[in-house]
Amino acid sequence: VQGLHVGIIMDGNGRWAAAQGWQRVAGHKRGAQSVRRVVEAAPDLGIGTLTLYAFSSDNWQRPEREVSVLMSLLKRYLQSETANCVANGVRISIIGRRDRLDPALLSAITAAEDATLHCTTLHLRLAIDYSARDAIVRAAQSLANCKLITRDLFADVLARDKHDLRSAGDVDLIIRTGGEQRLSDFLLWESAYAELYFTNRMWPEFGAKDLSDAIVALHSRDRRFGRVETTAAAAS
């Protein structure tokens, strides 16, 4: 898939719900609607790959009820959106550990991945039970017998899943909603040269216009990847 790779840390669901006088899980439910909005808006903004941080490995430490609501929201999202994704050319894949997921969620995952495998308009990657450090350690472990590890090989192994033998590529932009400014163990390797965009907007309120604002900000940044400007280099 061509186009920008954008990663989103969807933060602020709980605080948004509390501000309405609602329970935290109500914020997650609204958050699932924001996911639908950004997936719909992404292709027209030049985004080819969208990686959403849906559930971090550290999120298992949340109260049991909140974990189970999140898991069932994810399952329902996959079940209800797959047909829509096929119609709109959206390929779904999941990154993260699979061995701790409920069998019903796992089968929703494989069904969504298999049904959308041929889609090429947008690659939607949902990070579930994901930890970037854990992913890096597992990739390193799988290469333990390899004599020469290159960056490209490592990146490919890191991104490898059942269907994907090639890396999804570096991340161009990381967006974090909810006002905090940190990466929280998300795509640490892949975002080595990512631009970071933080907004106070809470995730349940995030929409197409906010995504567009972030992309406009990205285009206004001077991305040098450690080099100097070509024109400046010629002049010096």
**Token pair belonging to 16:** 């948004």
Interface segment toward ligand FPP; rule CB under 6 A; list 69-77, 94-102, 157-165, 218-226:
69-77
In order, the DSSP letters of 142-202 are HTTT-S---HHHHHHHHH--SS--S-----SEEEE-SS----TTSSTTTTTT-EEEE--S-
Q: Which of 6, 45, 50, 52 binds ligand FPP (CB under 6 A)?
A: 52
Q: How far apart are the first and last CA of the chain?
A: 38
Nearer to ligand FPP, 74 or 108 (CB): 74
Residue 78 neighbours by CB under 8 Å, 6+ apart: 92, 105, 108, 109, 111, 112
Active site residue 59: yes
200: annotated active-site residue: no
Indicate the SS3 state at residue 236: coil
How many whole angstroms from its chain centre is CA 60?
Answer: 18
Distance between CA atoms of residues 115 and 117, nearest Å: 6
Is there binding between residue 176 and ligand FPP (CB under 6 A)?
no
Residue 31 beta carbon to ligand FPP: minimum distance, rounded to whole angstroms: 3
Closest distance between ligand FPP and the C-beta of residue 53, in Å?
7
* The total number of residues written for the chain in this structure: 236
CB of 34 to ligand FPP, least distance (A): 7
200-219 residues near ligand FPP, rule: CB under 6 A? 203
CB nearer ligand FPP, residue 189 or residue 206: 206
Cα 206 to Cα 214: distance, rounded to the nearest angstrom: 11
Q: How far is the CB of 181 from ligand FPP (least distance, A)?
A: 13
Smaller CB distance to ligand FPP: residue 9 or 139?
9
Rounded distance between C-alpha atoms, residue 78 and residue 219, angstroms: 32
The interface mask with ligand FPP, positions 94-133, x = CB under 6 A, is: --------------------------------x-------
Q: How many residues bind ligand FPP (CB under 6 A)?
A: 20
Say which of 13, 44, 58, 59 is annotated catalytic.
Answer: 59
User: Residue 8 phi/psi, 5° resolution?
Assistant: -125, 125
Do residues 215 and 4 lie in contact, with contact meaning Cβ atoms separated by under 8 Å? yes
Parallel, antiparallel, or unpaired: how do β-strands 47-56 and 173-176 relate?
unpaired
59 scored as a contact of ligand FPP (CB under 6 A): yes
5-44 binders of ligand FPP (CB under 6 A) = 10-15, 28, 31-32, 35
Quote the least distance from Cβ 61 to ligand FPP, whole Å: 11
Give the residue numbers annotated as catalytic, written as ranges.
Answer: 11, 59
Residues engaged in binding ligand FPP (CB under 6 A): 10-15, 28, 31-32, 35, 52, 54, 59, 70, 73-74, 77, 126, 178, 203
